[in-house]
């Protein structure tokens, strides 16, 4: 398996060019046409690498499933996504640029680089005359960045029967793998009031905006009693004109949890929010939810450490704060590791980047894992 490193290094230039091309496909979550255009490219590449592919169609963008090996045997599941947080047109002000061993651009780190690592790993295995030790399935989803609302059933379907699940998201700084993840839930607080003229008849109105402010204070009180929970009020909307008492207001809240019990307790408390003012209505709706993956699988990590040593790499792992589709697998008790993507930083930020030398290195590691797991 020492050959894996040399073969991957020899393919590094091609892998980098492929990532530049993928980043050139802008794929904001929900833009079905853009997502499907890149899915077409990914599907052709997986077929070139010997996979049988299928598309799972959704109005917000297709998911892609690639399979190597038999369908009726325990498999290794790879998880990735091709949507990004960046809106169409971002490339005009944030172009894809490579300089001094660093590639910058929207989506190169989160997580098109991981997609290229997986493809390169299969190419390395093929050129070395090796096969994965088990059947492999690779699920590439189209809505991971908003919590995988349409992809979660597909992920659960392919987690079933898996002996291991490997995520292609980014690693920790320095390259450590991710052995657990916080639970992640997005909720929407929806307030209905009653509109009226703000000057001529204000008493007839019920301000949804004022009610929302009070509800967010109540949310803050709930969170004060939950010191392990991360809470971010990400968006607020409501009202329309300053001379009209607003009858609608909403807030979307992102929550992160260390364990499932805390997750359930906090969501139950949010569900009990009640109006402060007469005539107002309050509803709390869960938009997406990923369970906490709180138990690292030390046996899987040990096997990956050995696979890394076989290609001259020292592998470590530790829990992570961010959520991903690997939460679903890890929380279900399936041996799971994430972070096989390239090293870099700046996820969701203008300085998003990867270290180009890490593309072949991570591919050699993944090829070694697939050959021995």
Domain that holds residue 332: 2-181+292-372
**Per-residue pLDDT, 171:** 98
Residue 341 has pLDDT above 80, yes or no: yes
Render pLDDT for 91-133 as a digit per residue (tens, 0 to 9).
Answer: 999 999 999 999 999 999 999 999 999 999 999 999 999 999 9
Instruction: Give the percent of the chain with pLDDT over 90.
Output: 98
* Pair (215, 341) in one structural domain: no
* Pair (115, 240) in one structural domain: no
- Secondary structure letter of residue 276 according to DSSP: S
Phi-psi region at 268: left, alpha or beta (left = phi > 0; alpha = psi -120 to 50): alpha
Burial class (CB in 10 A: 0-12, 13-18, 19+), 272: exposed
* Pair (311, 354) in one structural domain: yes
* Pair (296, 342) in one structural domain: yes
Average pLDDT of the chain to the nearest whole number: 97
Q: Which of 187, 155, 189, 199 is nearest to 256 (CA)?
A: 187
Total domains present in the chain: 2
Last residue in a domain, options 290, 310, 336: 290
Render pLDDT for 55-78 as a digit per residue (tens, 0 to 9).
Answer: 999 999 999 999 999 999 999 999
Residue 348 has pLDDT above 80, yes or no: yes
- Long-range CB pairs of 24-27, under 8 A, 24+ apart, other chains included: 24/91, 24/96, 26/84, 26/86, 26/87, 26/88, 26/89, 26/90, 26/91, 26/106, 27/61, 27/82, 27/83, 27/84, 27/107
Report DSSP letters for 58-102, one per residue.
Answer: -TT--EEEEEES-SSS-EEEEEEE--BSPPTTGGGTS--EEETTE
Helix (H) or strand (E) holding 308: helix 298-310
**Can you state the percent helix, strand and coil of the chain, rounding each to 5?**
35, 25, 35
* Pair (17, 139) in one structural domain: yes
Q: How many CB atoms lie within 10 A of CB 161?
A: 15
Question: 330 Cβ partners below 8 Å, 6+ apart?
Answer: 165, 180, 181, 293, 295, 297, 336
Rounded to an integer, the average pLDDT of 146-167 is: 97
* Pair (48, 131) in one structural domain: yes
* Pair (211, 259) in one structural domain: yes
* Radius of gyration in angstroms for the set of CA atoms belonging to the chain, rounded to a whole number: 23
CATH number at residue 97: 3.40.630.10
CATH number at residue 276: 3.30.70.360
Determine the number of helices (DSSP H) and then strands (DSSP E) in the chain: 10, 16
Q: What is the pTM of this model?
A: 0.91
* Pair (64, 80) in one structural domain: yes
* Pair (147, 198) in one structural domain: no
Decide if 223 contacts 217 (C-beta within 8 A).
Answer: no
Last residue in a domain, options 290, 316, 349: 290
Residue 1 has pLDDT above 70, yes or no: no
Last residue in a domain, options 254, 269, 290: 290
Render pLDDT for 209-225 as a digit per residue (tens, 0 to 9).
Answer: 999 999 999 999 999 99
* Pair (31, 145) in one structural domain: yes
**Per-residue pLDDT, 322:** 87
* Pair (239, 250) in one structural domain: yes
Handedness of CA 154, 114, 176, 76 (dihedral sign): positive
Q: Could you give the angle at the alpha carbon of 148 between the alpha carbons of 146 and 152, nearest 5°?
A: 160
Rounded to an integer, the average pLDDT of 43-57 is: 98
* Pair (23, 127) in one structural domain: yes
At residue 19, φ and ψ (nearest 5 deg) are -65, -40
Residue 2 has pLDDT above 90, yes or no: no
Render pLDDT for 179-206 as a digit per residue (tens, 0 to 9).
Answer: 999 999 999 999 999 999 999 999 999 9
């Amino acid at each position: 398996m020492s050959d894996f490193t040399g073969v991957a290094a020899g393919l590094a230039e091609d892998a980098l060019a492929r990532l530049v091309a993928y980043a050139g496909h802008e794929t904001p979550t929900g833009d079905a046409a853009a997502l499907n255009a890149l899915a077409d490219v990914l599907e052709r590449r997986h077929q070139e690498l010997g996979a049988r592919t299928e598309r799972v169609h959704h109005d917000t963008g297709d998911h892609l499933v690639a399979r190597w090996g038999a369908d009726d045997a325990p498999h290794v599941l790879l998880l990735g996504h091709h949507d990004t947080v960046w809106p169409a047109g971002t490339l005009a002000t944030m172009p894809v640029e490579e300089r001094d061993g660093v590639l910058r651009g929207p989506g190169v780190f989160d997580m098109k680089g991981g997609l290229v690592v997986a493809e390169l790993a299969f190419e390395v295995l093929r050129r070395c005359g090796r096969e994965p030790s088990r059947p492999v399935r690779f699920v590439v989803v189209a809505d991971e960045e908003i919590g995988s609302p349409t992809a979660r059933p597909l992920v659960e379907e392919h987690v079933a029967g898996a002996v291991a699940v490997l995520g292609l998201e980014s690693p920790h700084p320095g390259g450590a793998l991710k052995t657990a993840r916080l639970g992640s839930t997005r909720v929407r607080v929806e307030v209905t009031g009653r509109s009226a003229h703000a000057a001529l008849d204000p008493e007839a109105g019920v301000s949804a905006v004022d009610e929302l402010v009070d509800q967010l204070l109540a949310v803050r009180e709930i969170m004060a009693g939950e010191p392990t929970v991360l809470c971010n009020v990400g968006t607020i909307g409501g009202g329309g004109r300053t001379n009209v008492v607003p009858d609608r207001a909403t807030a979307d809240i992102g929550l992160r949890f260390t364990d499932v019990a805390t997750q359930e307790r906090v969501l139950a408390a949010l569900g009990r929010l009640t109006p402060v003012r007469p005539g107002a209505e309050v509803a709390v709706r869960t938009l997406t939810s990923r369970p906490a993956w709180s138990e690292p699988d030390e046996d899987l990590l040990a096997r990956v450490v050995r696979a890394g040593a076989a290609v001259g790499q020292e592998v470590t792992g530790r829990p992570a704060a961010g959520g991903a589709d690997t939460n679903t697998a890890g929380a279900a008790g399936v041996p799971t590791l994430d972070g096989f993507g390239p090293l870099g930083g700046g996820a969701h930020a203008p300085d998003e980047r990867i270290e180009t030398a890490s593309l072949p290195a991570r591919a050699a590691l993944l090829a070694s894992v697939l050959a021995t797991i």
